[in-house]
Structure 1
Amino acid sequence: MKWQQIPLGIIQTNCYIIEGTNKTCLIVDPGDEGNKLINLIKSKGLTPLAILLTHAHFDHIGAVDDIRNTYKIPVYVHKLEEKWLEDPILNASQSFPSIGTVKIHPADHLIMDEGVMKIGDFEFQVFHTPGHSPGSVSYYFEKEGFVISGDALFQGSIGRTDLPGGNQSQLLQSIHNKLLTLPEDTYVLSGHGPITTIIDEMDSNPFLNGY
């Protein structure tokens, strides 16, 4: 299994294509530029099985319907953000007039609990990691040694908490209790910026030191 990081849109939100066996893949956070993403998927000869959302802010969901309609695949989001896809206030697109309002059709599946999720040949764990937003989740691929953290944890930083439902104390708890407990060599695939590791953030992230 391998991943590819694709920054999309003017905010350069990281979308991830997780490639498995038999040329199947999962698509995580298709935030914008649907045609670019579709062309990339076609060029690689991949068959998408599902769209996973780490959370429902506008810059992570903008191309969801493009991908869903093209491949007829389901979308997964946490139950606490069920209404966010359709609501420009909750998904924060209304706060950024230059972006334009973002409204996406409802998710096909709601993530109700933490635990193991299986989609096709993919098996991974779902962690509820709120703080950046109430329904933020992280997807941990234990055998492959990586976690997709959305906007919870970045290289040298953490997610902003000034948007609807944000809570810095809760975010720090999520990071320390769910992410920093993973093996130190685990790769962290963040919603923005470069890939990092758990040990690097434990050692040098100024937002985590002294918590």
Structure 2
Amino acid sequence: MLTEPFVTDYCRANIWLVGGSECDMLVDTGMGICALAPEIDTTPGKPLLVVATHVHLDHVGSLHEFAWRAGPRIEAPFFETMPDEATYAHMFRNFPGAVSQLPHPAWSSADYTIKPAPLHRLLDEGDVIELGDRTFTVLHLPGHSPGSIGLFDERYGTLFSGDAIHGGLLVDDMPDSNRAAYCATMRRLTALPVRVAHGGHADSIDGARMREIAEDYLRRNEG
């Protein structure tokens, strides 16, 4: 797990590097305040697939730095131009205390933009990502955003869940959020044989805690 240390807590997202015998995978790319690619420990000659779980600013900021990009088909058109109405980059421009340390003296959050990063692979429910010795199935987990996806390694019970579920504050009130869809996602997650979930924010959680969070969300929103 990597994080951007000087970004405000609200915008700091987890970045996950997953090693495979034939291909490595990077899940999400943070805000892009500073270059991310030089910080990724890759093996020369081994492919690196970079997967965006959804198009919000704290997950796609450095996506353009990488040569092989994948993400949800439903949100794919937004990756072509990274418009504010999809990424919410405009929210960061006026965010109080956006960073605790300036990347360089002339840096200002008011100038924050996200560079376009067209996807090379469009991911749908049930697609499979092969890393050689590890296999991840794409799960469509809408609610936080329309196209949110998770990546599930059923053999090891490992889920990379993006913002669909994690141990922090779940956000379901963005303009593109949908609580009914989120409830359906939570019902699905309660039945999924997850051993550990690595989310887009906060620390990783075990399967039991993940199901508690999902069930609590359902009690609050279906009751």
TM-score (norm 1): 0.81
**C-alpha offsets along residues 178-208 of structure 1, whole Å, 9 cap, x if unaligned?**
x22112x520111000000221133366424
Q: How many residues align?
A: 196
CA deviation string 1:46-102 (max 9, x = no partner): 944211111011110011112x1xxx3x21111211122221221111232144232
State how 1:1-211 maps to structure 2 within 5 Å: 5-8=1-4, 10=7, 11-21=11-21, 24-31=23-30, 32=32, 35-42=35-42, 47-66=46-65, 68=66, 72=67, 74-85=68-79, 86=81, 87-98=83-94, 99=109, 100-111=112-123, 113-121=124-132, 122-155=134-167, 157-158=169-170, 160-177=171-188, 179-183=189-193, 186-203=195-212, 206-209=216-219, 211=222
CA distance in 2 between counterparts of 1:46 and 1:148 reads 25
Compared with structure 1, are the counterparts of its residues 78 and 116 closer, same or farther at alpha carbon in structure 2 (3 Å cutoff)? closer
C-alpha distance in structure 2 between counterparts of 1:142 and 1:16, whole Å: 18
User: Could you list the runs of 5+ residues in structure 2 that have no partner in the other structure?
Assistant: 95-108
CA RMSD of aligned residues (A): 2.4
Deviates more, 1:139-148 or 1:7-16: 7-16
Q: What is the CA-CA distance between 1:161 and the residue it aligns to? A: 2.1
* Aligned-residue identity in percent: 24
Question: Larger relative contact order (C-alpha < 8 A, sep ≥ 6)?
Answer: 2
What is the CA deviation profile of residues 132-165 of structure 1, one whole-angstrom value per residue up to 9, with x for unaligned ones? 101001100111221011101111643x122232
Select the structure of larger CA radius of gyration.
2
**How far apart in 1 are the matches of 2:89 and 2:185?**
25
Residue 101 of structure 2: aligned partner: none
2:106 aligned partner:
none
Larger strand share, 1 or 2: 1
TM-score (norm 2): 0.77
